[in-house]
Amino acid sequence: MERLGDHDGWTLERLRDAVVPPTRLRTCSGPALHGLLAAAVEDVGPGPFGSQARSPTFLQALEGVLEELAHGSVSAPALEEAAARLGSTGARLGHLARLIDAATTHMDRAGVELAPSRWVTASSVLARGWPAHLLLQQVELTVAPPLSPGMVGFLSALARAASSSGRALAVRVPLTGDAHTDAALEPVLQAFEAGPDLPGVELLPELAEGPLSEPVRRLGVAAPGSLPTDALEAVVAPGPRREAAALVDALRRALDAGASLDRCAFAVLGTPQAAELERALEDAGVPVRRRAPVPLGTTVAGRLGLLWAGLAARRAPAEDLAWLLRQRLLPRIRVDARLDPLPLLRRAGVRDAALGAEGRSNAYQVRLGVFAARSREAGDARDGDAAERLLGAATGLLDLAERIPRRGRLADLLEAWRAGLDAAGFWTALEEEELESDPRARRASAREAAAVEVWRAFVRDARAGWKASRSPGPEMDRAAFARWLIDAAATLPVELAPGAPGGIDVLPLESLDGRPLDFLGVAGVDAASFPRRAPASLLGDEERQAIHGVLGRAAVPALVGSGDARSPLAEAVDRWRLGRALASAGRIAISRRRSAGGAPADVVQRLLGVTGVQERDLSSQPIPTLAEAPGPAWARVRLALEGTVAPDLRSDAADPVAAAALEHLAGTAWLEDARTLAGVEAERLQTAAGLRAPGAYSGRLGPAEDLVAAVNGRLGGSPEGPLSSTSLTALANCPFQGLSRKVLGLEPPEDGAEELDARGRGQFLHEALEQLVKRLLALGLAGADPATLPADLVPQAVQTAAREHARCAPTGHPRLWALAQTRARTTLERLLRSGRLYPFAGLRPAAAEERFGPDLELPAALPGERPVYFRGTLDRVDRGPSGTGVLDYKSSKRRERARAEVLVTDFQLPLYLLALRGRGERPPFQAGWLSLRTLEFLPLDPDRTGPLESFLATDAATRSSTSAPNLATAVHALLAEPRQGLFPVRPRECGFCPLGSVCRISERRAPQGGEG
Ligand code: SF4
């Protein structure tokens, strides 16, 4: 027995263990107990609980009921009797009784007991009188919720035994004084009040003594605003970061006012709030002593273990596989840090192991293999090597993950999971690493090491449970195993090692130890999240009433308190904890996050009411003022904002303190960087809105002459580097797009989709049509009646085009690719058999894919112009006695749009006509687009071009004398800006820009007033 003095350090638990020293039976809970409970479910069957009865959630709930029954000293036969009394509605309780009976048998056989059973045992010992071995004359102890019926019964028995043996017992009960907030303590108060007078036994209600103790005590009775205080502040924040900043600012002010850091704490209700607070504290340079535990599933080790379990069952999604291959916790399969798997998998079109698999080869093997071969063929050995290395790593990972059997007993599946991770180096990865020198990295490693230990303990306990029950657990498949593991382990707490001594505590509300605090910050307390609801119990209200009826006492109460204060036990406990913490602390800051329809939690709302304290809404101030910035990071954001934002664009009032501080920070590197970045953003937006000429960050190259000359060299337009109509289109749609594509040579990012996108489909159809016309020409069938043409013409053209297309571009899933070819065949057959392939009356195809240039010239005729040379390819030239026609195949051209774009963004047909004239083709000329989508022919509209003579005129006299559209004038005007090195971000349309996914401007626009 413990050698403590009469008054020293007694708690209810220690007294219990002093009365009944621990037996040879092991106390058991969590995963170890679940093995025994699972065996009970196997014995009795799931009954009305269905397949859920085998889930860890059910076993967890069953453990909860077992504990409740142990606390209330309720036996399985009592449950059976209660079930019988319920009649037809008692089937569920009857089955639960059988499960409890079977579980108790398994536990007895395994030599384990539940911790709560010990309360009942200790009570029965005390019922026989004060134990002779307990050498105490006086005992003082403090009790705090949660207090189960078993604990209250033990306390009553202790009081009776102490009194009858002439001993002194003082039980301190920490209260707030408000009946609603103290409801969780009512069972113990009632037990003493309802019992006989016991000489020598004192129940000592203890009220808190903080500045808010009176407002908390009089929550239910004081008039609104009658108890003002400056010890309380409350904020509503627009987001978690801002909320943490406000709380840390409140802490900083409390410290300035004399609070001692080791008497300060933050209480949180969830892990995300704790993480934000810790980040804000770190920024403010405030050390943290104790940290809130985090759920295993939120750590890297936790996520890794859960993903590993489900990888094979979920067909190894590319995102998961890529993430796993980068983890330091898997050192034996990890890829080189320079190889980023996910972008490569995207380019290769890998979605998972199944989509695109062929025969015995999974999709990783098929698609990465094809990608590697295509890269090599295109001369890109680097991509080819990377794809092959990635394939090797992916294969290694999948081999290990596939070791989990497709189906098996739970114990075997868990062992295969453990062994696979072992082969990848998971369990010892951190032990083999060098100690980190950076404190933050060291903390992160310690957290992961703790998470690995939680996994280890989980495996050990689960094995112990199955061993004790002599059962390897239920049989299930891989997917069910992955779900089981998430259910059983994702929320296991990972306790973090203590940090700096003397630092602040960031703890869950339930872990505050009741000591008086100089400052308490409480995060995330609103009506939706507080008080927290307990998980649903397997015992319903009616079933509890039936049990109470059988036993004649409230053995398993679901509610505590009386009258208006009556509420579920877990909620009452939460209320008491918060109320007591608020009443005890010297200074309090409470925060919640703004949400639609959100409101403060009931305790807080009543406290705000009686004190008259108003919540401060920070929604219009997403960045703290300099005076309220809790650390350097926020201070810099505020200063940068103050120093850069245009007055017209402000959403909040100016911060005079920050403005004054800026004067002393002139020349500071980070501030200059911020100013530069803000200037860059403003310049881009203003240029895009046409409010200013392009600058260095919005498309101006130069003005250095050599640079402009180099840009002109790359831009092209000379005989050595002629322009194409595609380059003109890019420059006309957005000069910045033209700069990116033509001058800088940027290519749009490759993305291996399952299906050809609109652009790919258009290209492929275009290629197939080219092949078809070439074949008609080669066979001399261009003038033949369509009805007499051979049947294999179109299939062969599509086949050749498909082969060519696959050589240089991703073709996606084989079946969808085959479908695309079928569609192309159908389209071309319709085109060919309907006669629409020959849109010019009296003309027939004479040439396809005819190149022109580089000597196709638009001469300089007017001041400031320079000659421009072109090259290109005529999709098709048709000839006949009545002239020459030129055709442009378009995959998605709409009639009105096609015509409106001529000489605006579309220069192709005008250049074709110029090329025909340059080649001396027979006039008159005709031109038009053949839509591959609608098979419609859209002739170039003479209403828009005017006479071709003036449209194609290049001489100064004609061009100066006409106001009709003119190709040369349009091209020279278009090139005037780029020739000076100016490529403003000025998009006509971003939707079809191939750079859309990487462009930082895109459709963004300066808001009104952006001139500032
Ligand atoms: S996305 Fe828009 S702004 Fe950006 S380059 Fe393309 S067209 Fe210009």
Q: Which amino acid is at 794?
A: V
- For residue 100, the CA-to-ligand 1 centroid distance in Å is 68
Biggest CA–CA distance in the chain, Å, is 130
pLDDT surpasses 80 at 500: no
For ligand 1, atom 3: residue with the closest CA: 1002
Does residue 610 line the site of ligand 1, with CB under 6 A? no
Contact (CB, 8 A) for 147 and 554:
no
Question: Is there a contact between 651 and 1012 (Cβ–Cβ < 8 Å)?
Answer: no
pLDDT tens per residue across span 434-459 = 877 888 888 899 999 999 999 999 99
Ligand 1: centre distance to CA 928 (Å) = 28
- In this model, does residue 4 exceed pLDDT 70? no
Pocket of ligand 1, candidates 988, 1002, 1005: which has the most ligand atoms within 8 Å of its Cβ, to mutate? 1002
- The DSSP element (H or E) to which 248 belongs, if any, is helix 240-256
Q: Which residue from 510, 513, 630, 494 is spatially nearest to 268, judged by alpha carbons?
A: 510
- Whole-number mean pLDDT of the chain? 90
- Exposed, middle or buried: residue 736 (CB in 10 Å: 0-12, 13-18, 19+)? buried
Give me ligand 1 centre to Cα 999, in Å: 6
Band the pLDDT of 1007: cuts 50, 70, 90: low
Ligand 1 contacts CB of residue 509 (under 6 A): no
Say how far apart CA 458 and CA 488 lie, in whole Å: 9
State if residue 386 touches ligand 1 by the CB under 6 angstroms criterion.
no
Q: What confidence score (pLDDT) does residue 745 get?
A: 87
Residue 35: band (very low, low, confident or very high) from pLDDT cuts 50, 70, 90:
confident
| pLDDT of 605 strictly over 80 | yes
The predicted model gives 696-720 an average pLDDT of: 89
Contact 974, 870 (CB under 8 A): no
Which ligand 1 atom minimizes the distance to the CA of 733? 7
Q: Supply the pLDDT for residue 995.
A: 81
Cα–ligand 1 centroid distance for 728 (angstroms): 15
Q: What is the 3-state secondary structure (H, E, C) of 720-771?
A: CCCECHHHHHHHHHCHHHHHHHHHCCCCCCCCCCCCCCHHHHHHHHHHHHHH
- Mean pLDDT value of segment 898-911: 88
Spell out the residues 6+ positions from residue 87 whose beta carbon is closer than 8 angstroms to its own: none
Atom of ligand 1 nearest to the CA of 1001: 3
Assess whether the C-beta atom of 496 lies below 6 angstroms from ligand 1.
no
Question: What does the chain come to in residues?
Answer: 1012
Beta-ladder partners of 600: 526
Calculate how far, in angstroms, residue 985's C-alpha sits from the geometric centre of ligand 1: 7
Q: Does 739 sit in the ligand 1 pocket, CB within 6 Å? A: no
Tell me how far the alpha carbon of residue 243 is from its chain's centroid.
20
Ligand 1 centre to CA of 726 (Å) is 15
With a 6 Å cutoff on the Cβ, whether 556 touches ligand 1 is no
How remote is the CA of residue 993 from the centroid of ligand 1, in Å? Answer: 6
The rounded Å distance from CA 986 to ligand 1 centre is 8
According to DSSP, the β-strands at 264-268 and 505-508 are: parallel
Q: Is the CB of 1001 under 6 A from ligand 1?
A: yes
Confidence bin at 192 (pLDDT 50/70/90): confident
- How far does the centroid of ligand 1 lie from the alpha carbon of residue 687, in Å? 12
Ligand 1 nearest-atom number relative to CA 996: 1
Residue 781 identity (one-letter amino acid): L
Token readout for 660 is: 């004054």
CA torsion sign, 771 to 774 to 779 to 783?
Answer: positive
CA–CA separation, 558 and 552 (whole Å): 16
- For residues 822 and 436, give the distance between their C-alpha atoms in angstroms, rounded to a whole number: 59
Q: Is the CB of 800 under 6 A from ligand 1?
A: no
Q: Is 999 in the pocket of ligand 1 (CB under 6 A)?
A: yes
User: pLDDT tier at 248 (50, 70, 90 boundaries)?
Assistant: very high
* Ligand 1 close to Cβ of residue 854 (< 6 A): no
Q: What pLDDT does 1003 receive? A: 64
Closest by CA to 19, choosing from 27, 11, 28, is 11
Q: Pairing mode, if any, of strands 883-890 and 868-880?
A: antiparallel
Q: How many A from CA of 5 to the centre of ligand 1?
A: 80
| pLDDT at residue 693 in the model | 87
pLDDT tens-place string over residues 393-438: 999 999 999 999 999 999 999 999 999 999 999 999 998 888 778 8
Cα(990) to centroid of ligand 1, in Å? 5
Burial 528-547 (b: 16+ CB within 10 A, else e): ebbbeeeeebbbeeebbbbb
Which tokens go with 790?
């051979």
What is the mean predicted confidence (pLDDT) over 726-746?
Answer: 91
Q: Which three-class secondary structure state does DSSP give residue 895?
A: helix
Supply the pLDDT for residue 25. Answer: 62
Among the listed residues 461, 463, 538, 474, the one whose alpha carbon sits nearest the alpha carbon of residue 28? 461
The whole-number average pLDDT for the span 704-712 is 91
* pLDDT, position 3: 40
For the cut 60, the answer to whether the pLDDT of residue 806 exceeds it is yes
CB distance 985 to ligand 1 below 6 Å? yes
Q: Does residue 356 have its Cβ closer than 6 Å to ligand 1?
A: no
Is residue 354 pLDDT above 80, yes or no?
A: yes
Would the CB of 990 count as within 6 Å of ligand 1? Answer: yes
Question: Quick one: pLDDT at residue 1011?
Answer: 39
Tokens 């080819």, located at residue: 384
Q: Which amino acid is at 691?
A: L
Ligand 1, pocket-test mutation among 685, 733, 736, most atoms within 8 A of CB: 736
Ligand 1 centroid vs 994 CA: distance in angstroms? 8
Question: Distance from the CA of 675 to the center of ligand 1, in angstroms?
Answer: 25
Burial group, residue 822, by CB count within 10 angstroms (0-12, 13-18, 19+): exposed
Q: Is the CB of 734 under 6 A from ligand 1?
A: yes
> Residue 636 pLDDT more than 90?
yes
Q: Is the CB of 987 under 6 A from ligand 1?
A: yes
Residue 69 CB less than 6 A away from ligand 1:
no
The verdict on the CB of residue 70 being under 6 Å from ligand 1 is no
Is the per-residue pLDDT at 1 higher than 50?
no
In the reported structure, the alpha carbon of residue 992 is separated from the centroid of ligand 1 by a whole-number distance in angstroms of 9
Distance 684 CA to ligand 1 centre (A): 12
- Helix runs in 779-865, H state only: 793-808, 814-834
Question: What's the rounded Cα separation, in Å, for the pair 293 and 272?
Answer: 11
Mean pLDDT of 690-713: 88
Q: What are phi and psi of 139, to 5 degrees?
A: -135, 135
995 lines ligand 1 (CB under 6 A): yes
Rounded to the nearest angstrom, the distance between the alpha carbon of 995 and the centre of ligand 1 is 6
Average pLDDT over residues 847-873: 92
Identify each DSSP E strand in 319-459 by its residue range.
Answer: 407-409
Torsion of CA 906, 910, 911, 913, to 10 degrees: 150
Sign of CA dihedral 968, 974, 975, 980: positive
Comparing 643 with 794, the larger pLDDT belongs to 794
Beta strand pairing call for 232-237 and 615-617: parallel
Question: How confident is the model over 910-923, as a mean pLDDT?
Answer: 93
Q: How far is the CA of 754 from the centre of ligand 1 (A)?
A: 26
In this prediction, residue 492 carries a pLDDT of 94
Other Cβ atoms less than 10 A from the Cβ of 46: the count is: 15
Using CA positions, which residue lies closest to atom 5 of ligand 1? 737
Ligand 1 pocket check for 685: Cβ under 6 Å = no
Span 270-291, mean pLDDT?
Answer: 92
Q: Is the pLDDT of residue 625 over 80?
A: yes
Q: Which atom of ligand 1 is nearest to the CA of 737?
A: 5
Q: Which of 703, 504, 478, 691 is nearest to 585 (CA)?
A: 504
Cα angle 282-283-285, degrees, rounded to a multiple of 5: 60
DSSP 8-state symbol, 921: P
The residue assigned the tokens 């399985």 is: 76
> Does 330 score more than 90 pLDDT?
yes
What percentage of the chain reaches a pLDDT higher than 70?
Answer: 96
Ligand 1 contact via 530 beta carbon (within 6 Å): no
Q: What pLDDT shows up at residue 993?
A: 84
> How confident is residue 603, by pLDDT bands cut at 50, 70 and 90?
very high
pLDDT band at 213 (very low <50, low <70, confident <90, very high): very high
Q: What is the pLDDT of residues 81-116, one digit of tens each?
A: 999 999 989 999 999 999 999 999 998 888 888 888
Mutate to test the pocket of ligand 1, among 687, 989, 999, 1004 (most ligand atoms within 8 A of CB): 999
**E strand spans, 273-393:** 294-295
Mutate which of 733, 740, 995 to test ligand 1's pocket (most atoms within 8 Å of Cβ)?
995
**Is residue 905 lining ligand 1, measured as CB closer than 6 Å?**
no
Nearest-atom number in ligand 1 for the CA of 988 is: 7
- Bridge partners of 591, per DSSP, are 235
Distance 989 CA to ligand 1 centre (A): 7
Q: Which residues have CB under 8 Å from 194's CB, separation 6+?
A: none
Residue 578 pLDDT: 96
Using an 8 Å Cβ cutoff, are 173 and 143 in contact? Answer: yes
Residue 750 CA, ligand 1 centroid: distance in Å: 17
Query: CA nearest 886: which of 817, 796, 828, 948?
Result: 948
Whole-angstrom distance, CA of residue 551 vs CA of residue 673: 75
Residue 892's pLDDT is 66
**Which pair of tokens denotes residue 1007?**
């808001």
Res. 764 pLDDT band, cuts 50 70 90: very high
597 pLDDT higher than 70: no
No. of H helices and E strands in the chain? 37, 22
Phi-psi region of 969 (alpha: psi -120 to 50; beta: other; left: phi over 0): alpha
Please, what's the b/e burial string for 56-88 (b: 16 or more CB within 10 A of its CB; e: otherwise)? bebbbbbbbbbbbbbbbbbebebbbbbbeebee
* Position in ligand 1 atom list of the atom nearest CA 994: 6
- Flag whether pLDDT at 688 surpasses 50: yes
Between 899 and 172, the more confident residue is: 172
Q: Which of 350-359, 753-762, 841-850 has the lowest mean pLDDT?
A: 753-762
Q: Give the distance (Å) from ligand 1 centre to CA of residue 1000.
A: 8
Determine the pLDDT at residue 6. Answer: 53
The span from the CA of 56 to the CA of 474, in Å, is 12
